[in-house]
C-alpha cells in the first residue's frame, strides 16, 4: 500500500491525541451502558474496554521502556500507579459496600455476594472470582473485572521489561497473544464460561498488542509504518466476517475476535501519531470534548456503573409504577444521569484524586 502512516512520536511530550482516544473509549462504554437497550447498534460499545486495554498497554509499556535503567525504576512506577489507581477505586468500593447499604439495605440487590467475597474486590482479583463462580446477579460492581486485568498485568510486567532485552520482550508478547487465543478456544473444567471475557490470561492479547506497538515504535518504527495499513484492512475485514457469522455485536469471545479488535485499535493509535493522519481521524483525535472526557475517563468509568444501575434504575422503576414513563422520558433521564456522572467525576478529580496525584513528586526518586 502506498498510503502509509509517517509516525511522528515523542514520548517525552504529552500527546493530546491519546487523551482523545481515551475519551472515545469511555464514550463507547457510556453509550453501551446507558443506551444499548434502546439503540441496538450501540451494543458495540462494550469494545471501549478493549480500546482502554490497547491504549494502556501502549502507554504503560512505553513508560517502563523509557525509564528502564533509571534510579528507583520499580519504586517510581508502582508509587505512581498506586497514587493514580487505588484511592478513587477504594473510595467507590467503600461507598458501594458500606455507605449505600447503610442508607438503603435493598439498594444493592446482590450485596450479600459482594460482602461475602469482598477480599477479592479489595485486592483486584474479582475477575478470578467471576472465572470460578460466575457473575453476581446485579451489575453494580461487575464491571471492575477490567481493572483487575490491568493491575495484575502490571504486577509482573515491569519485572519482565527490566530483565529482558527487546527481542525477548517481543517474543513474550507474542506468546501472550497466542496463549490468550488458545485459552478462548477451549473450555476449562471448573471455570465458568465467562472466563473467556474476564480472565487475565484469556485477555492478555489486547494489552499485549498495545505493548508491542510501544516496543516497535521505539525500535522498529519502519515496521509499523509499512504494515499498519494492511493490518487495519485485515482487522476490519475479519471483524465484519465475525459479526456476520455471529449475527450479533456481542462477538468478543468468538475465536480471535478480541485480537482483531485490538489490532484495529492499535492501528488507529499508530495513525493518530502520524504526521499524515487522515482528515477524519484527525478531527476525531483532536476533538476537545473527547480530550476532556479522556482526562476524566478513569473516574467516569468507576462512577458511572454504580450511579447508572442504582440511581437510574430506581428512578425509572418509580416512574414506571406511576405510569408516566415513555421512551423519550427514559432517554432524557439517562442523559441527565450521564451528565451528572461526568460532573461528579470532574469534582472527584479536582478535589479527591488530584491531592494524591500531587504526591507523585514527593515519592518519585530522581537523578
CA 137 vs CA 28, 63, 142, 186: distances in Å: 23, 38, 9, 25
Chain centroid offset of residue 354 CA = 21
Place 2 in a pLDDT band, splitting at 50, 70 and 90. low
pLDDT at 1: 45
What would the mean pLDDT of 283-295 be, rounded to a whole number?
97
Task: Output the DSSP codes for 89-126.
Answer: HHHHHHIIIIIHHHH-TTSSTTHHHHHHTHHHHHTT-H
In contact, 63 and 74? CB cutoff 8 Å: no
Task: Output the DSSP codes for 159-175.
Answer: HHHHHS-HHHHHHHHHH
Q: Which of 47, 64, 21 is nearest to 262 (CA)?
A: 47
> What nine digits make up the cell of 19?
487523551
Encode pLDDT of 296-354 as tens digits.
999 999 999 988 877 887 788 777 777 777 888 889 989 999 999 999 999 999 999 99
pLDDT above 70 (res 194): yes
For residue 310, the 8-state DSSP code is I
Chain centroid offset of residue 197 CA = 13
Encode pLDDT of 142-180 as tens digits.
999 999 999 999 999 999 999 999 999 999 999 999 999
Q: In whole angstroms, what is the distance from residue 199 CA to residue 57 CA?
A: 17
- The end-to-end CA distance of the chain, in Å, is 45
Would the CA dihedral through 354, 80, 179, 194 be positive or negative?
negative
pLDDT at 318: 75
Q: Is 346 exposed, middle or buried (0-12, 13-18, 19+ CB in 10 A)?
A: middle
Encode pLDDT of 218-244 as tens digits.
999 999 999 999 999 999 999 999 999
pLDDT above 70 (res 106): yes
CA 267 vs CA 3, 6, 15, 263: distances in Å: 13, 13, 17, 6
Q: b/e per residue, 112-130, with b = 16+ CB within 10 A?
A: ebbeeeeebbeebbbbbbb
Amino acid at each position: 500500500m502506498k498510503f502509509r502512516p509517517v509516525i511522528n512520536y515523542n514520548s517525552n511530550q504529552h500527546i493530546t491525541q491519546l487523551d482523545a482516544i481515551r475519551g472515545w473509549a469511555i464514550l463507547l462504554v457510556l453509550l453501551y451502558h446507558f443506551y444499548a437497550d434502546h439503540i441496538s447498534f450501540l451494543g458495540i460499545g462494550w469494545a471501549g474496554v478493549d480500546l482502554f486495554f490497547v491504549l494502556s498497554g501502549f502507554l504503560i509499556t512505553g513508560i517502563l521502556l523509557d525509564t528502564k535503567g533509571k534510579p528507583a525504576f520499580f519504586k517510581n512506577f508502582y508509587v505512581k500507579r498506586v497514587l493514580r489507581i487505588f484511592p478513587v477505586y477504594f473510595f467507590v468500593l467503600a461507598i458501594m459496600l458500606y455507605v449505600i447499604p447503610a442508607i438503603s439495605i435493598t439498594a444493592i440487590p446482590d450485596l450479600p455476594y459482594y460482602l461475602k467475597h469482598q477480599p477479592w474486590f479489595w485486592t483486584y482479583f474479582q475477575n478470578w472470582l467471576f472465572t470460578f463462580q460466575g457473575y453476581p446477579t446485579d451489575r453494580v460492581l461487575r464491571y471492575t473485572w477490567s481493572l483487575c486485568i490491568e493491575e495484575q498485568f502490571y504486577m509482573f510486567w515491569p519485572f519482565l521489561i527490566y530483565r529482558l532485552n527487546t527481542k525477548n520482550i517481543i517474543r513474550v508478547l507474542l506468546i501472550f497473544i497466542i496463549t490468550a487465543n488458545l485459552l478462548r478456544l477451549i473450555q476449562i473444567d471448573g471455570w465458568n464460561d465467562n472466563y473467556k471475557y474476564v480472565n487475565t490470561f484469556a485477555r492478555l492479547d489486547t494489552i499485549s498488542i498495545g505493548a508491542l506497538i510501544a516496543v516497535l515504535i521505539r525500535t522498529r518504527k519502519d515496521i509499523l509504518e509499512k504494515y499498519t495499513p494492511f493490518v487495519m484492512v485485515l482487522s476490519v475485514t475479519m471483524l465484519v466476517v465475525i459479526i456476520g457469522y455471529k449475527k450479533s455485536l456481542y462477538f468478543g469471545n468468538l475465536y480471535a475476535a478480541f485480537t482483531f479488535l485490538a489490532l484495529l485499535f492499535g492501528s488507529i493509535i499508530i495513525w493518530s501519531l502520524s504526521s499524515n493522519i487522515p482528515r477524519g481521524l484527525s478531527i476525531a483525535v483532536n476533538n476537545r470534548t473527547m480530550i476532556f472526557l479522556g482526562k476524566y475517563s478513569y473516574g467516569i468509568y468507576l462512577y458511572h456503573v454504580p450511579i447508572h444501575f442504582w440511581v437510574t434504575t430506581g428512578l425509572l422503576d418509580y416512574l414506571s409504577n406511576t405510569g408516566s414513563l415513555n421512551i423519550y422520558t427514559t432517554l432524557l433521564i439517562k442523559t441527565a444521569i450521564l451528565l451528572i456522572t461526568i460532573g461528579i467525576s470532574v469534582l472527584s478529580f479536582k478535589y479527591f484524586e488530584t491531592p494524591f496525584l500531587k504526591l507523585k513528586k514527593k515519592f518519585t526518586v530522581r537523578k
